[in-house]
Amino acid sequence: MTTAGFTLFIAFWISALVFANASFHSDQREASWGAMGAASGLELLWVIGGTLLAITRWRATTVTFRVIFVLNIIVVCLIAKFL
């Protein structure tokens, strides 16, 4: 669960950076837009699962999971802000 959360966070972050720095109407920009869309959906699903895990087994989770959980919550808040 922690590895999936970290991977999604990095995928969203990199696609957002590529999207911001790519020139307009380029294939690179379009690909990063698609990656951001896919990562956003998966990010929302991960946060739902992570929230359920955090609620039911908070004491059993590691510090690494908690850090990744907070970072992904921040990303979901940013996604919700810009939708």
Predicted confidence (pLDDT) at residue 49 exceeds the cutoff of 90: yes
Give 78's pLDDT tier (boundaries 50, 70, 90): confident
Backbone angles phi, psi at 2, to 5 degrees: -65, -45
Q: What is the pLDDT of residues 54-75, one digit of tens each?
A: 999 999 999 999 999 999 999 8
- Cβ(47)–Cβ(76) below 8 Å: yes
**CA–CA distance, 25 with 60 (Å, rounded to integer):** 47
- DSSP annotation of 61 reads S
Domain ranges of the chain: 2-82
